[in-house]
Chain A
Amino acid sequence: MAFLDIANLDKFYGPTHVVKDFNLSVEKGEFVSFLGPSGCGKTTTLRMVAGFETPTSGSIRIDGRDVVNLRPNQRNIGMVFQAYALFPNLTVAQNIGFGLKVAGRRRSEIDERVQEMLAIIHLPELGGRYPFQLSGGQQQRVALARALAVRPQLLLLDEPLSALDAKIRISLRQEIRAIQQKLGITTIYVTHDQEEALSMSDRIVVMNAGVAEQVGDPFTIYNRPATRFVAGFVGTLNALEAVVTDPARGALTIDGQAIVLGRPIEATAGAKVGVALRPETVALGSRPEAGASLRGTVRDVQFLGSVLRVRLALDRQVVALDSFNTAALRPPAVGDDLEVGFATADMLVVSAE
């Protein structure tokens, strides 16, 4: 049995079904992210694990024990909030020691643990400061230390980096992951930021409209999305419509241009299917070896520094491609007639209609 077991979890707010038959098993020490747009039920699921919301039905087991009927303060769970939620009247050290003091630990033990936690978050000098004297990034590190000081069996983070600016976000996500691995604590991380989820997690749960669409490691989620939603939400994506001409050979046409995937498609000849292509798998120029190509007219060119993003108009549809910028390569101009190529293995058939 897994360390955290969520089975058949459902949550209704009145008539609204916000979490639908959610199932997940998390191993001890694993870092799992809930990824999805706002309103997809990821935070509600997290709050049910924390005990702030009661499931309509289903079970949540931590280390074999059903916690659904336990109050939040009985679950031994560490929680980090988007708004930091540090106690404004307490110093950094008192904030970190709060949980231990509530638990009635000895003063010397609390002091020792607080120093230890301050060292882990690399703020050993700031124990005497008040929260308002800290930057956002520092406050969130203190909040993390406070949640971890009580040695919780589970760490829950609810969009902890959303209120911070981009640079801090990147450095702090590396720091959170490093601390999590160092302590080996089982962690659930809620985010709407795919980069965060992809870079930090052992596994990702992609959620949409209350349903866990796909559970998998970041590599699988990105490269082998199970549903069209996952493909579209994680990473940018060309979603194109194609007509199947020969399902056995995987032959299809996109805006009249023939592509042969060389693998069978589960659809009948003449059926319309959705195909997906990541912009970074498409390259300027044709790809004769094991590849396919499309011709079109350059609609616009975005220069993003290291990357050149070109949008190519086919007959009705548009294909975007990302190409690394090299000084030797002249960017194509708008209106150029151009051929682009990709490996057929990179083209995913995401839904047959």
Chain B
Amino acid sequence: MRPNRIWAWLALAVGILYFALPLIGTIEFSLRMRRGVYSFDAYRAVLGDPQFRATFSFSVVMALMTIVLGVLVVAPTAYWVRLKLPRWRPVVEFVTLLPLVVPPIVLVFGYIRLYNTSSWLPLTGTAGGTNVLLLAGYTVLALPYMYRAVDTGLRAIDVATLTEAAQSLGAGWITIMARVILPNIMVAILSGAFLTFAIVIGEFVLAALLNRPAFGPYLQVLGANRAYEPAALAVITFAITWACMGLIQLVTRLQKHTQVPR
């Protein structure tokens, strides 16, 4: 074996250890709730906790709504920028990157200041209003990922010509968007959606400061008060994320028209 191959293998091994060891340790620890034997007690305790179910389903619903809102905002914008305002692309890209620069804590304090109960739009006064704020905040947080995914999808198709073809066949903007553009960037939208899902499920700052019963704050409370259950929860969260990534792969493969020509 040539020396540079050895170094390559070594680097790989170090990398795998670096990522896998904490995970293996967490899994191992999560199985040790019952003294002396490995068991799934921690998982049973977590999954049986009504708080877990309530917060998790709250976050799932929020994630799905964030995805829908994100797609509705991002897809037409990215499409229009590509079609009619190509010179504005750098500006729009910069705006979509802002959520990575502005910390969520700043965002949420801004929200609270602007929409508190003595403001002109007292959204924080009701649970429903606060949920709307949370949804808006999540959409902002997911914006960089969603925009990039959708824009990459649009790059892969000839947006201008497909639009003109559809127009010459009598289609209006809504038809073009729904029947021509969206189906052809579905894979990109789905990858953006899964990223959004992963972000929203684990998000802590917005939910905690807006005092909504989301999964993130539950994770934190559990982590501060219990030993084995947080480890089990971490493993469950990992599994969900991986399942999402697997789903992206699966969807890409199942799409008939994106298969490689024979």
Give the residues in chain B near A75, CB-CB below 8 Å: 168
**Per-residue interface assignment for chain A, residues 126 to 138, with 1 indicating a CB less than 8 Å from any chain B CB and 0 otherwise:** 0000111100000
* Shortest distance from the beta carbon of A216 to any chain B beta carbon, whole Å: 29
| Cβ A81 vs Cβ B165 within 8 A | yes
* Shortest distance from the beta carbon of A234 to any chain B beta carbon, whole Å: 29
A147 interface contact, C-beta 8 A: yes
**Per-residue interface assignment for chain A, residues 148 to 167, with 1 indicating a CB less than 8 Å from any chain B CB and 0 otherwise:** 00100000100000000000
A52 interface contact, C-beta 8 A: yes
| Cβ A79 vs Cβ B259 within 8 A | no
Set A77, A79, A87, A147: member contacting B180, Cβ < 8 A = A87
With A83-B161, A88-B184, A89-B183 in contact, is A72–B168 under 8 Å at CB?
yes
**Per-residue interface assignment for chain B, residues 158 to 178, with 1 indicating a CB less than 8 Å from any chain A CB and 0 otherwise:** 100110111111111001000
Q: What size tier do the contact residues of chain A reach?
A: 20 to 34
| Cβ B166 vs Cβ A89 within 8 A | no
With A72-B164, A83-B158, A85-B164 in contact, is A132–B170 under 8 Å at CB?
no
| Cβ A73 vs Cβ B257 within 8 A | no
B256 interface contact, C-beta 8 A: yes
Give the residues in chain A near B256, CB-CB below 8 Å: 130
* Shortest distance from the beta carbon of B210 to any chain A beta carbon, whole Å: 39
Give the residues in chain B near A146, CB-CB below 8 Å: 165, 169
Interface of B (DSSP majority class):
helix
| Nearest neighbor of A104 in chain B, beta-carbon distance | B170
| Nearest neighbor of A146 in chain B, beta-carbon distance | B169
In the complex, A52 Cα to B262 Cα: how many Å?
A: 35
A76 interface contact, C-beta 8 A: yes
A98 interface contact, C-beta 8 A: yes
Give the residues in chain A near B161, CB-CB below 8 Å: 81, 83, 85
Chain B, 126-179, CB within 8 A of any chain A CB: 157-158, 161-162, 164-172, 175, 179
29 A-B pairs with C-beta separation under 8 A? A50-B168, A52-B164, A71-B167, A72-B167, A73-B169, A74-B170, A76-B170, A78-B168, A79-B164, A81-B161, A81-B164, A83-B158, A85-B164, A86-B165, A87-B166, A89-B180, A89-B183, A89-B184, A89-B257, A98-B166, A98-B169, A98-B171, A102-B170, A102-B175, A103-B170, A130-B257, A131-B257, A133-B262, A156-B168
Binding site for B on A (CB under 8 A): 50-52, 71-79, 81, 83, 85-90, 98-99, 102-103, 130-133, 143, 146-147, 150, 156
Q: Which 10 residue pairs spanning A and B have beta carbons closest together?
A: A99-B169, A79-B168, A85-B165, A89-B183, A72-B167, A85-B161, A102-B170, A73-B167, A130-B257, A73-B170
